[in-house]
Amino acid sequence: GQQVMQIPQYQHVQEGEDFTTYCNSSTTLSNIQWYKQRPGGHPVFLIQLVKSGEVKKQKRLTFQFGEAKKNSSLHITATQTTDVGTYFCAGRGGSQGNLIFGKGTKLSVKP
Amino acid sequence: NAGVTQTPKFQVLKTGQSMTLQCAQDMNHEYMSWYRQDPGMGLRLIHYSVGAGITDQGEVPNGYNVSRSTTEDFPLRLLSAAPSQTSVYFCASSRRLLRTSVYQETQYFGPGTRLLVL
């Protein structure tokens, strides 16, 4: 079945450093979504990417969808302590396929 | 709007007991889903619904039942609780809009129910 792998599992950075998490699917995706979950909280939707090679920005966050629609990345420039949390990618195999989540990357930021 | 609400927030069960986790949304979304989150496992889809009266299985449906009699409510029933069902359960809702042959969707999660089965 469809699998979504996410790396790294953990990332510790100094405040001001950049951070990137990568997501790879075993199958071509119709879309990929990114979520952020703060400690003790629930996942919060960040963005959806649907087009091959798509790049979207939200302030210091940059999201990319690969040309083959099988991989994606989230890059945070100049991390802040408010960026702490776990970032999940979730891929949908077809327009009606299930949404499969990666295991997440837990980001900690040292002030 | 309250968004997606879940009750209870915490629950302790004994093995073999049954219970229902409640989920409601007030955004008139047609899609609703139940996930469980275990340490190091991400979120796994249990069951989902694409509208009132329509439900289907996700990745890990065994031991759980769902029904969708109204657009607003999507309860999850544990038939006979087992320690392996100790987890955090999240309900989510979304609307999918077809725009230029691509589905646009935003999924909203509830605050979660922490379940401990002894």
CA–CA dist B94, A13 (Å, integer): 33
- Using CB atoms, pick whichever of A41, A45, A103 lies closest to residue B42: A103
For A85-107, what is the mean pLDDT?
Answer: 89
Whether A48 shows a pLDDT value over 90: the answer reads yes
Task: For B30, list phi and psi in degrees, rounded to 5.
Answer: -85, -30
B61 to chain A, any CB pair closer than 8 A? The answer is no
- Banded model confidence at residue A95, pLDDT cuts 50, 70, 90: low
- Using CB atoms, pick whichever of A44, A95, A104 lies closest to residue B42: A104
CA–CA dist B90, B75 (Å, integer): 11
The confidence score (pLDDT) of residue B12 equals 97
**Which parts of B29-79 are beta strand (E)?**
31-38, 42-51, 54-57, 64-66, 76-78
B17 to chain A, any CB pair closer than 8 A? The answer is no
* Residues of chain A contacting B48 with CB distance shorter than 8 Å: 98
pLDDT tens-digit profile, chain B (118 residues): 779 999 999 999 999 999 999 999 999 999 999 999 998 788 999 999 999 999 999 999 999 999 999 999 999 999 999 999 999 999 999 987 776 666 788 999 999 999 999 9
